[in-house]
Amino acid sequence: MTTKAATTAPVLGIRALNRATLARQLLLRRAATTAEAAVAHLLGLQAQNVKPPYYALAARLDGFTPEDLSAPMADRRVARLVTMRSTIHTHTADDCLTLRPLVQAARERELHAFRNGLTGVDLDRLAVLARELVEAEPRTMGQLREALLAEWPDADPQSLSVAARCRLPLVQVTPRGLWGRSGQVTLTTAEHWLGRPARPAPAPDDTVLRYLAAFGPASVKDMQTWAGLTRLRDAFERLRPRLVVFRDPNGTELFDLPDAPRPDPDTPAPPRFLPEFDNLLLSHADRTRLVPPEHKGRTWRKNQAYRVLLVDGFVAGLWKLEEGALVVEPFGRLAKKQRDEIVAEGGRTLATMHAGAAYDVRFGTVRD
């Protein structure tokens, strides 16, 4: 949909969009705020694995230590569950109980792909039975699947697991997710774990405003990519009088909050070490504001995401931890000043995440 206002709206160049997004993401300068407040502002942190949310906050918060996230998780003020894009996120307790209802319709649609394995299964009864099982005692997915198979022995086991995950907001209980602790994935419902009922799904309008605060300026399609939802255009149109409108260099209409930060495109952007699956790189349909076209596809291999290095605000390489070293693999040649800044930032990351360990920062093969 293109309006007259959209065709005359000012254009934001790629660097302007980059700096605006980095500012919202707390990546231009580290924020002096709590881990819990940052998780709320960012609408959650992608968390397929245990460590990425910790690295994500280390790149964004001043004075962060892993315990700053581990403690509220242990106290059940934050938790891990499936929400946007059918992936596990670390959310505040409030968002566990509101954002999951917002995306519930998408989780229901996900079940269509498994309908052949669920022939004869009463999904409403499955949800009731699964809830009773995990609220009586947190269970692994294998234990839950075995109990459900006793009720529907002819069903496909994986499809039963998916149905339980889609129908119920299943939280991964601690010690899973705590820094420096181990534990298999054991599940109960968000309501049971957090000790309060789920809230009604928030109006899409409210979440649009929060999304723009964390990821804007953005298009309707950008937010739909982030949320894994469709048909959000109406919410943006209702909000249009409260928003400002821009265009990207391709003419796509972008919405934003009037008072949100939009720094000068020449604002310095320090290097940052981001974890695999960081939402910064997963929350826009058009990722050129962060990923130069020549590097498109280089941060993924099949279904595996790599840890990403930002230089001057853009994806410029990968990094990994090896025995005794943080190894940087740049996509191209770096100036000496850039290398010095990367080494300093790498040292800070190591001191934050691996205090007391002996690590060096070194450069590996340039990934041309």
Contact, 88 vs 48, CB < 8 A? yes
Q: Would you give the distance in Å from CA 16 to the centre of its chain?
A: 22
What local confidence, expressed as pLDDT, does residue 178 receive? 97
pLDDT value of position 203: 86
Residue 305 confidence (pLDDT): 85
Q: What are phi and psi of 170, to 5 degrees?
A: -90, 120
Q: Identify the pLDDT of residue 117.
A: 95
* Rounded-to-integer distance, Cα 158 and Cα 360, Å: 44
Q: Where are the alpha helices (DSSP H) in the chain?
A: 4-8, 14-24, 35-41, 52-58, 67-74, 93-96, 99-102, 104-110, 123-136, 141-151, 157-167, 190-194, 204-215, 220-227, 233-239, 336-353
Cis peptide preceding 175, ω within 30 of 0: yes
SS3 of residue 142 by DSSP: helix
Question: Which among 348, 286, 338 is positioned nearest to 317, based on CA atoms?
Answer: 338
**Does the pTM of the predicted model rise above 0.85?**
yes
Q: Which of 191, 170, 175 is nearest to 73 (CA)?
A: 175
Which residues share a beta bridge with 344?
Answer: none
Chunked into runs of 10 residues, the chain (368 residues) has average pLDDT values of 64 98 98 98 96 98 98 98 95 96 93 94 97 98 96 96 96 96 94 93 92 98 96 97 97 98 98 96 96 90 88 97 93 95 96 88 79
